[in-house]
Structures are given as C-alpha cells and as structure tokens.
Amino acid sequence: MKFSGYQLLSQRGAGKDCVAYLARELSSGNLVQLCDLTSAAKHQRRWARLTRQLKKIAVFSHPAGRPLIQLQLNTDPRFAVLGLTGTRTLADNLQQPSLQWPTALAICLRLSDCLMHAHRLGISHGNLCPSGIGIDDDDEPIVDFTQFLAMGITSSQTSDPLDRCCLPKSSSTVGADPAANDIYALGAMHSMLLGIGRFGRLCNAPIPPLSEGESASLESLIDSMLDDDPLDRPLADEVVRELNAGLRAHLNQAHLSDPGFGSVTSAPTPSGGAETGGDAETIGLMKPAPAMGNERGLEGRRLGRFQIERRIGSGAWGAVFRAIDVADGATVAVKVLHPEHANCRDVVKRFRDEAHILAGIDNPHVAKLLDVNCQDGVHYLAMEFVDGPNLASLLARHGSIDEPRALQILADVARALVEPHEYGVVHRDIKPANIIIRLAESGGRQRDAVGRQPDRSQTAASDGMGIEAATLVDFGLAQDLFDDRPESDAGEQSAPRAIVGTPAYMSPEQCGGEPVGPETDVYAMGATLFHLLAGRPPFLGDNIQAIIDQHRNQAPPRISEFRAGIPDSVTETIDRALAKRPVLRHADAEALLVDVERLLRGEPVSIESHPFAPGDPSAAMRFQFQWPLRSSPAALWPHVSNTERLNEAIGLPVVDYTRQVDDEGGVTQTASAERLGMKFQWREHPFEWIEGKRLAVLRDFQSGPFKWMISRVELQASSDGGTHLSHHVIVQPRSVLGRAAAALEVGVKAKRALKRVYFHIDRTVAANGVGDPFRQPNRLKLARRRRLDQLIERLRSRELNAHVVARLSDCIEKAPAQELARIRPLAFARQYGLNADAVVDTFLAAAHEGLLVLYWDILCPSCRIPSDIKETLREVKNHSHCPACNLDFELDFAGSVELIFRVSPQIRQADVKTYCIGGPAHSPHVVAQLRIDAAERLRLDLSLDVGSYQLRGLPCALVIDFEVAHPGETSRWDIDVDADSLSTPLDVPLQGPEMKAGRQCLVLANHSRREQVIRVERRSPRTDVLTAARASTLRSFRQWFPGEILSPGELVGVGAMALMTLSISDDPQAGQVANALAGQSFLKMTSEVVERFGGTTLPGPADRVRVAFDDPSRALLAALDLHQSWSADGSIKHRRLKIALDHGGSVAVSVQDQLDYLGETARAVERIFQQTQPGELTMSVRAASDPVVASLLTERQLDGRMETIETDDHGPVLIHRFGIESVRADVDRVSD
C-alpha cells in the first residue's frame, strides 16, 4: 500500500486498530510515525469512535502534546501521521538522581497546561503514567493522546511501581471518567516530581525551595487531585489556576516567565495542517471566554472545541446556545451555568455527577451528552442538537394525538428512561416541551400520523406530516439546573424553583417536595399521555398552587371523559401511572414500557415463558422437581446441559434422527425411539437456553401416548454459593393410557433418575471433577485390563510424558463408553491441565500402537458441530454439507477438519449411539439460543463478559457481529431478525452496537412469516481443535501416519498458513565436498528446529528448504532459533542464512505422497526469497503486521527497513528486510 508523500522505512508495531511505521516525509525529509488505519476502518462502530477521537485531536496543538501532522479518514488508504516522541520517558527522569528543581517544576507546569487545553477540547488520555510520557532533548514532556491506537512509547527501564501509583481505584469501574483519571495521574506525578505529598518519597525528587505556606498549599492541591472520589478532584482548569497562583514566584525558575502560562491567549492551530477528512473548515482556538455577567458575550466565541453561534434559550440556572463542534462540523447545543451558581461546589458537583452518568448512555431517544467541561470558570455541557419541533408546539397546533401515535411517542420516552432508571437517575421534568419530535422526510419512512381532533380544521394528518421518533431532552441535568424556555418567557422566572418540575405533570410527592424515584417519572409520563390523547393535562387551575393541590388530593379524571373510543386497556394503563401512591404505579420506565408495548400489540415476552405449549396448557400434566445443590450454577452447567450424557444416564432410549428441508431452507428434525414396547415419534424443536441459567425443549409427538412434552431446567444461585435446580416437565397425554404413562414414567421413574444423576454431578463437581459426573467408574475385564497394560507399557518405553500416559490409561479404563467415542486431544489437555503438545504426541503414539483409532471430524463453520466423520484424509473432499444448518460449505484445513481419536475396540467398545443431538453441550460457543415465532417480540437478558460475539439467525441467515466492552455504548439493543428486509448482502456480517459489560438486554422482533432460531455466539476462535493443518506439521504424525494425505488431485483450502523458504550461502573458499557437507548439516539442523517449533518440511528444490507453520509467530521463532544455532556452530564459517516468510491463504494438496501447500502465499514467499540477501530475514507486510509477530520483532530488537521490490509477475511489492546477524538469542518462548 502506498501513502502519498511518505516513504515507509520500518515497522514500529502492530495492534488491533493500526500498523505503525517509521516513515520519512518526502517534502521535508523529517522522520515521522505513520499509522495505517486500514484494519480499524473495517469495523464500522469502532471506526466511528476512533475517527471522532482523532478529529478532536486534529484541532489540538500544544508544545507538550504529540503532534498529529496529517489525518486521512475519508479515502483509502486511511492513515494518521504523528510526530516522533523522545527516546526517554518521565519514568527514566524520575529514577535519575540528577533531576533539578527547575526541570521538575517545568515538567509539572507543562503537563498541567497540556491537560487543561486537551480537556477543554474533550480530549482525555485516561492512562497517564510516567512510562507513557516522553521526554525530549530539551527535557520537555510529550503526552501522546493517540495512545488508544496502541502505539505508545515505552520506557527502557522497569517503572511498574511508579505507573501503578498513577492508577486510581475507580479507573476500572463502569463509567469511570478518563478526565478524572488524568487528574489523579497528574497529581501522582506532581507528588513524585516535586517531592510533596503521598508519593513524594518514591523518587529522587529535588528539595523544593518553597515557603511553608507555598508547600502546604501545593500539598493540599495534590491531595485533592488524588481524592478517591473522581467528582471531588479539581478540573484541569482549576489545577492550572491554583499552580499559577501558588507558584507565581517560581515560574521564572521553570523557564516560564509568563505568569499566565495557563491562560489561552490564542489558539494553537492544528499541527502541520492536519487534514481531518471532514467537510467543515478547521477553526483555531479563540480568545478566553468572557465573564458570564452577560451571556451574549459568548456569541462568536469558543468554549473548548465548540464555536458558539447564538443563544436559543435561557432560564434561572443557565443559558442554552446553538454551537458548532469544530472537530467534525456537527451542530450541538451548549448549556452554560450562570456565574452565580458556578462557585457553588454542591451545584457544580451535581452538574458533573449526572453529566458523567449520562455520558455513558447511548440511546436514540435521548439527546446524547457530548462533553461536560469548564473553561476559565465557565461551566458548560454540550449535547446533541435535536432538530425538530417539541411536542408542546405540535399539541398547540393540532390539539391532540391519535392513540397509536401517542403510544409510540410514550414508548420512545420510556425507552429513553430504561437505562437511566437502572442507574438511579430520575428526570423529574418530563413534559411535552421536553420531548422533541424528529419529523420524517417527505416520502420517507413514517409512523402513524398525528390524530385528527374533531374541533380542529387543520391537523398533522391533513398536513401530511410524518413522525419518525421522539427524543427526550433536558435529561437528568435540565430539570435540576435549567429551565430552558423560549427567550420570550425567560423573564417570568429569575430564580430556581423550590420545587423542581413543571406543575401540570408533577407527581404528588414531587409537589410536596418529598423524595422522588423512577415512579415520579412514570407519573409524568402518564400525565403526558393523558395530554396527548385529551388535548389537555389531567389537572388545570388558575395558579400553580391550585394545580399542585389537585395532584396531591384529587383523583385524576378518566381519559374517556375527554375522548371517546379509548380502549379500557389504555385507560387502565393511564390510571395506574397516575396513582397517588408511588407503590401503586409502574415501578420504572421498563415496567411501563412493557405495558405500552402490549398495548401496541408488540409486547416483548420473556424467554422464561418459552417454549410455548402447542396446545391447551390447561389440559396438560405438570411435574416440578426441585433440589438444592452445593455447587454453583457455572460449575454445574457444563454437565447439566450435556443432554447426550444426561439422557443416557437416566435410562432414556437411543434416538434415531431424520431431517427434512423445506422450500425456504428451514430444517425440520424428526426423532423416533422405542420404549415400554411402544414406538415414539416426534418433532424435535430446537433447544432453547441461556448459558448457566436455563435450557428447555419442546417435543411434538406424532405417535405414542403423548401429544407434546416440554422439559425445562432452571439454575438459580443460592445465597450460600450453591444452586437451586428446578426441573419442570409439562406433558399433554393423548389418552387415559398416556396420563397413566406420564404419572409413572415422569412423576416416579424420571424424578428418581434425575435426582440420582443431578446429585452425582454435584458430588463430582464438589470433589474438583474427580470421577465421571454421570456414572460410577467403569471396570475392565481381566483380559482387556492386561491388553491395556501392555499397550500402556509400550507408550512408557517411548519416553512420553508420564503424567499424560497415566491420565490416558485412567481415562480408557474408567471413562464411560460415550466419552471414548470422540476424544479430542486439545480439549483433553485443557480438561486435565496437561501440556497440549505432550498430549498430542501421546495420542498419536497411542494410535500408532493400536490403543486409539484416528478419525477426522468435518466441522460446520456455522454451528461448529461435526457434520460428518471420515476415517482417513483421503476421504476428505473440498466441499461438505451440514444437514443441521442445511449449509453447503468449502472445507478449510485450518478450521473445519479436526483430528479426533476413539478407543480401540480391542480394549473397550465405544458407545457411538445417539441419545440427543441438540443440547447446549454440542455447541459450547453458543451463549444463548431461542426460538421466536412469527410476529413475536422477545426480551433476552444476558450477562456477557467482555469479548467479541455474533448474533446469528436461521433460516433467515442474519449475521451481526457485536462487541461487549468496558465501558461500552449501550445496555439495550432492539433487533429486527428478519434478514429479508436488509440491503446488506447476507454473506457480509452486519455490525451491531458495542454493548456494555455486565447486564445486556436484547429485544428481538421477528417480522418474518415463520419461526426463526436466534443464537448469540462467542466469536473468539476455538483453541481446542487440533486441525488438519496443524496436525500435518507434526513430525510424529508424518512419521507414524504417512498415508494420511489427500487423494491425488484433491485441493482443500487452508484459511492461513505461514510459509517460509530458507537456504545457506556457499563458502567461496571451501571446496564442493565441504559445501555439500555443510548443506547436509543445514538440512538436519533445519529439520530439528522446525520440528521443535511445530512446523513441517515441504517438498521443494534441492538448493533451499520450504517449511510450513500454522502460526507465523512460530515460524519467526524457528527462524531466529535456527540462526542462533547455525551461528553457534564454530565449524561453519563464511556461510550465511537467507530466510523469507509470508502468511496467508493456501491450498493443501498431496504431492508425491506428501502434503504440500500451494497458491498465492507460496508464490509470494518465493518472490520475496529471490530478493533476499545472505544474512537477511525478509517478510511480507501481512506477516510483519501480525500483532504477535510485531511484538516479537520489537522484543528481539530486530531493526528492519521497508523496501519496494520489483517482480516479474506481480509488479512492485513492499517487503520488510531484517538483519539477523545480531539477534537476541532468547527464543525459548513459543506463542500460544
């Protein structure tokens, strides 16, 4: 990839979002760091967050800030260019005894001033520490605000203790404020640098020449910066003012003779003319904000990164301005606190407290908080500017709203309040004036029109106006700190109300000045819905007190008195919301939303009601078994959810399954079994489960004594750390005989068997997994016992890992027959805490000796369940089919072909029969699976950990990738699972939101014509699969199973393989024989090293060696180890290695009875090899940019350069060249 105006010199590192290069700016010759952002641009939501942050940094410039020289975000290639940082860090300075007072003071002041300017623009670092701050040759600090790209500088010395001092306790909590974290870190570094306060004795700080009063004042400031409560820490503006005032006499010693070093007299312009990729012109920083005696003085000025345009509202607590965010050109609303309140600590703290809570809420029905800040004593917050009329103006024009639209608007308001109510935030001022209506564009998607009021000649419906959505504004802060009304009304009220709220919509407790809660907002929403439908609020009066008295003492009127035709259900919802006592109302917005959605006939049911009974549930027989268990739900889940083992253990019969595919691609699964002398046949619906909590299944019987049966298991954590297990069975008998059969088989036999198995599982788990969870240990007969001992003794004679051999022997002897039918070596290693390589070697040796039998599972890439099994690789073709998913797929040697083992029938008979195929244990990567009927909406509550996930739908083929992160964007996600309505191609995963770690709520709506099965899956790659690609690189596999190759002419794709070509140069002073002997020595050494690092040798020309690895980091480690071994051989002189490495997709093929890897990667590595000089390691850009490889290159201090080479068949190719003559020798670590 070419970056216009820059020459790439070498790679500096690689991370999730970018690859960083040392580059030269061609126009100036200056060295810079170029960050290739191509990988980040592939992820829509992450890219949006990253670009927002980079655009803010583009308008920031400060002598102590790392300069952002160029930013190209809108066109390919996407990249950022940064200035270089110093070679030293602040940690290095702090550990030197020569640090002088003027230097320490100057660093403190520069850092404080830098943070002040950055925070004004909404830029926070969030992870400041001494090892992350550079020091240039003039002892000036350099703060890198682009550290979120994971390309920060590192200290050359150990500085962990100092770094840890800069980390506040609150830094890892949800909603932690990065700006407050910056202040804490700044305080810690002030303490270290100046030798004052909590951390003053940690470093070699100079003795400060301060008076007693100056020292006490500075220590007090530092203590406040280190306060445990983030909201009690000062703002960066306040820190600078305190330093400016307290250290005025010492500023000249710090070479800062200007006593107003912290004042912004003019704005720094973007560094180097950074191109932000936006349409708006970049605006420089303006003069300091004026005093707030007259807010109109702000117009035309700048607060932080917000260019103030004009005032649009005013109230008792502050003023609201329309402004432009200069980072991206967006229009925003800026609310400024009146100066008379700015000095009230409690008001300011509450201002910041609720603002930071709201900052974590990303909801389309809430005006999003963008920034809360202070500049020159002016406290302000910036919020999303919502363009549209407020609901009060629509009511003034049209009188009332029709019922469907009114309910939709109220539902949007309730959705806006669900998450805040969870945080304990109460709005207190919900009213039509605080609800902004987003109008649909002409011809665009519209909801139901505003209703026609009988006494109005003109309505919204007749205007043809459509309403898209409702947005709640003045959220959280507005009701406490502002009363934003049109300027024409501002004079009516000049002081804050003693009772906060708007009387027409205030709850009784709010009217009385009593404590409020979420129920207060519910009352206001009920009053607002009443107004929408009736054209007036519930209570009217000549004055405020009259209205308050009615709220507190008078029953609200019925909505039917003002509007005919309102359903009783709507009336009941309004009456409940307007109840005088809070306890009689809906508990919060979530509870009200459930009722409103029911009224809209789209109520999202809970998964607890699944699966639905297919017939009349009143005629069904119900059995409920409950047992207290000692183990936790998480520990019990892998066994309780293993329905294959559980069904066999409780004595259920073997099941035969058949599948049918309908015209729309849906799969219907039919099962049959014999029991009690009767033939049972049923339709097996997909299992439904939430990992660790519940699983359930519905079976529709076509024959037998039952019509249908539901089995549901629920695990609830108990207060003592154990589990309350409930097993519910609901059966609809077909006849009197069926009722008797259910009473006996379920009520008696199944209950007894389930209790026995569940308690056995509990005892096994409590004993740390010693023994089989489902059955007592198996006992071998004497003859088979002797045969097993003989084979185990052979394994011991091979000097294999003794612990692994012993564990394998114990497993084969005692494990149940089901477990021995499919033994997965890497899963076996993980289960028993054994070395994975030792387990694989032992299993292969056991298969060679006849103790185990080797098989190949063909894994479906969608459900990850084996869709087929092959006895040899020769049977493997390049395509396969998964009957469960009705999916044809192309095989991938590196992902969909797994090597497994089965016990030899000479020792034991494995149980390959099927008892259940759809339970959660078959899909351990699936966190939740559920069925959603046509037109159903379902609420799914999850507790996902931080990680990557995928939401997948069948048969609709919907695929959405999403992340769970800390802190994340949102906790609620509304999803339409009908992929037919999507414009994005179904083979391209959609990008979902970034969910908050902890609790998540997914509301799924099925608008398709048929049932959909929805799965939430972990997207992380499986590390317990011994793939064919990896197995083929193992020496023991090739040695003992040389016949395990593909059929001649069969080509199977490999997702990614690392291919490497190596050779040695001849010694011109040696003869032909000596060079030939050296070549033989090189081949032997290469074979040993490659084998040690998990690689394999491939067929190739005689003058070089071709090798393959399943991991590029293993290939790099092998190359470095080979170089060290070769260099250490004193008998070899004047011969140098040349190595070329690439990583990418390949094609597996059998060549002369040996596996080989061909394709573009093989051709690319040969092109690179042709350009490699003796003593060099060259590799492609894609290999070098692998994060683990990049880390190893830095760790081994490989100093490379980048170069464009010319090739005959591929044009110019960019490669990395590394000299390997002085490589560090510590290559003992192999990446996992």
Residue 719 makes CB contacts below 8 A (sequence gap 6+) with none
Spatial separation of the C-alpha atoms in residues 933 and 1202, rounded to whole Å? 57
Whether the Cβ atoms of residue 944 and residue 964 lie closer than 8 Å to each other? yes
Residue 1084 is labelled as binding a ligand: no
Spatial separation of the C-alpha atoms in residues 320 and 382, rounded to whole Å? 9
Torsion sign across C-alpha atoms 980, 984, 988, 993: negative
Whether the Cβ atoms of residue 811 and residue 843 lie closer than 8 Å to each other? no
What separation, in Å, do the N-terminal and C-terminal C-alpha atoms of the chain show?
Answer: 30
Type of residue found at 688: E
Whether the Cβ atoms of residue 460 and residue 439 lie closer than 8 Å to each other? no
Whether the Cβ atoms of residue 278 and residue 262 lie closer than 8 Å to each other? no
CA 521 from centroid of its chain's CA atoms: 32
Whether the Cβ atoms of residue 973 and residue 1003 lie closer than 8 Å to each other? yes
Helix (H, G, I), strand (E, B) or coil at 1079: helix
Longest dimension (CA), the chain: 114
Whether the Cβ atoms of residue 327 and residue 59 lie closer than 8 Å to each other? yes
Helical spans, DSSP H, in 22-120: 38-41, 44-58, 90-94, 101-120
Tokens of 840: 């694989």
Q: Within a 13 Å sphere around the CA of 59, how many CA atoms are in the beta-carbon half?
A: 30
Spatial separation of the C-alpha atoms in residues 1014 and 801, rounded to whole Å? 44
What region does 850 belong to: left with phi over 0, alpha with psi -120 to 50, or beta? left
Phi, psi of 143 (to 5 degrees): -100, 130
Q: What is the DSSP string of 402-462?
A: -HHHHHHHHHHHHHHHHHHHHHT------SGGGEEEEEPPTTS---SPPPPPTT-S--HHH
Residue 245 makes CB contacts below 8 A (sequence gap 6+) with none
Spatial separation of the C-alpha atoms in residues 842 and 1138, rounded to whole Å? 35
Exposure class string for 780-802: b at 16+ Cβ within 10 A, else e: beeeeeebbeebbebbeeeebbe
Tokens of 727: 């097993």
Whether the Cβ atoms of residue 301 and residue 388 lie closer than 8 Å to each other? no
Best CA proximity match to 94, nearest among 146, 41, 58, 133: 133
Q: Within a 13 Å sphere around the CA of 397, how many CA atoms are in the beta-carbon half?
A: 15
Going from the C-alpha of 575 to that of each of 551, 588, 591, 1224, the distances in angstroms are: 13, 15, 15, 77
Give 1186: exposed, middle or buried? Use CB within 10 Å, 0-12, 13-18, 19+. buried
Whether the Cβ atoms of residue 842 and residue 795 lie closer than 8 Å to each other? yes
Q: Which helix (H) or strand (E) holds 1170?
A: helix 1160-1170
Phi, psi of 1170 (to 5 degrees): -60, -25
Going from the C-alpha of 976 to that of each of 26, 363, 411, 579, the distances in angstroms are: 50, 17, 17, 35
Whether the Cβ atoms of residue 875 and residue 910 lie closer than 8 Å to each other? no
Which residues are annotated binding-site positions?
335
Which residues are annotated binding-site positions for ATP?
335
